[in-house]
Each structure stands twice: as C-alpha cells, then as structure tokens.
Amino acid sequence: MSPSWLRRWKSAVTRLFSGQANFGELQGTIGYTFSDAEVLSEALSHRSYVRTAANPQCPSFERMEFLGDSVLGMLVAEQLFRLYPECSEGELTKLKSSLVNEQTLALIARDMRLGDHIRLSEEEANAGGRERPSITSDCFEALLGAIYLDGGIGPAEDFVRKFVVSRISEVQNNRAIRNFKGELLEITQGASAGTPRYDVISESGPDHDKTFTVVVHGFGVELARGSGHSKKEAEQVAAGRAQQEARILARKRRPKQTGQEEM
C-alpha cells in the first residue's frame, strides 16, 4: 500500500465519518458553534449518505430542511419589512422570492463551500452532488434549521442577515437569477386568473441523478412544460416558458377600451 494511496483513503474516511472535530471549519465560516454536534451532523447528511451509513438510525437533513425553509421565509420577510418601509407588499414579495429561491441559495452555499461538508454516498459524490444546486440549497436550509434548533432565533437571525439579506443588491443586479414563478404569478394575478398550478408528470433516472418534468396550468389551460434535476428547477423552467403564452391570454382578458364620445 503506497503512502499516497493511504493518505487519500484516510482523508476520505475522515470526510465521511468524522464527528464534531471535522465541523470546526464550517462553524468558523458561519460564525456559530453548535452546542449539540448531532444537530449539525443531521443537517449535513444527505439521504444518499444515510442509506450507506454504518448507523441505520442516522437521519437525513430532509426534516431539518423543512424547518429551515419556514424559518428562512419568516426571517427574510421580517428583515425586508424593517429594511424597506417604503416598499409595497408586492415589492417585498418580489425581493423575498429573489433571495430564497434555489438559484440564490445554491450560489450562497457555493461561496461558503458548503458542498465540501455535505455527507454524501460515494456514488452521489462522484456524480457531482457537492455542486448540485438542488442538494446544496436544501442543505443550506437544513443548516439554518439546525442553527435555530441549537441556538434559537437570535443566531438564526444573524445567519440570515449575514448570508442572505446582505446579498440583496447582488441578486437584484444579477440577471441570471430570475424568479420565473414569481413573474408568472404576477401575470396571472394581474389578469384576475388566480395562481398557476404546477404538476409533476414524470420522473426518470437514478436516485442520484433524477430528472423531473413539470407542467404548469393557468387561465384554464396548459401553458408549458419544463424539466430539471429538482422539482423546483423544473417548475422554474416551465414558468419561464409559460410567460409568453400567459401574456397573450392576459391581454385577451382585458376589457376593450372604448373611444371617447364624440362632442
């Protein structure tokens, strides 16, 4: 066994199975030290890792993500409400959507190198899971949920302010980050056509590389379809494709303007 191979093997084992000692770098990045290392461990454990872990009771981060998603929405809404007293409800909603969507959270996770700390199966890691937006954005929400569980609302507020709300200007200036679902919602509601409905119509591929296809309905008809490696991504693609047809249908619903009466 060569020394270089042994070093790589030890590094891989440490990355997959080490405990609190391996969390120091991430805790330094986020500026918060966990009292309960198991909470952080759960927030970093993808379901692919759980299936192959030595401990079958090891939970994945999905429940923690559920909590973090709710905490994120509430804290971003509150901080925007206080920062922008002049903004209307609609403007605040657009700001919030631009900050909490998958694209933005994945960029934040990339910049803080969160992918380096996510526990994945070897197969998922080799398939590029550490850079997959659907995984890194979900893990970011799970991490926030873990901070909230471990330290309460104060550290969670600090985390959201530091990593999410601080990027408002960057997000607004980045044309690549668009909330197509929010834009489509504006079109349909502006035409009194209600809220678009998104349905998953197919899933294909292995667990570590699934492709979802979504159809979006609005104005009583199918508007468009879209595919992506997560349901959120597929919905965004479908919403982007649906906008042209939605605008045509919205114009048809507007009452025709009458000409001025003759004098």
pLDDT in tens, 88-97: 887 888 889 8
For 97, the 3-state DSSP assignment is helix
**91 in the Ramachandran plot: left (φ > 0), alpha (ψ -120 to 50) or beta?**
alpha
From the list 132, 143, 146, the residue with the least C-alpha distance to 102 is 132
Told to judge if 199 belongs to the known catalytic residues of this protein, a careful annotator would answer no
Told to judge if 207 belongs to the known catalytic residues of this protein, a careful annotator would answer no
- Say which of 69, 124, 138, 235 is annotated catalytic: 69
User: What would the pLDDT profile of 66-93 be if each residue is shown by its tens digit?
Assistant: 999 999 999 999 999 999 888 888 788 8
Structural domains present in the chain? 14-173 (1.10.1520.10), 180-253 (3.30.160.20)
- Say which of 65, 102, 124, 141 is annotated catalytic: 141
Tokens of 80: 């925007």
**219 in the Ramachandran plot: left (φ > 0), alpha (ψ -120 to 50) or beta?**
left
User: Per-residue confidence at 11, pLDDT binned at 50, 70, 90?
Assistant: very low
Sequential DSSP letters for 35-46: S-HHHHHHHTB-
Phi, psi for 198 (deg, rounded to 5): -110, 130
Q: Choose the most confident range, by mean pLDDT, from 20-29, 163-172, 191-200, 250-259.
A: 191-200
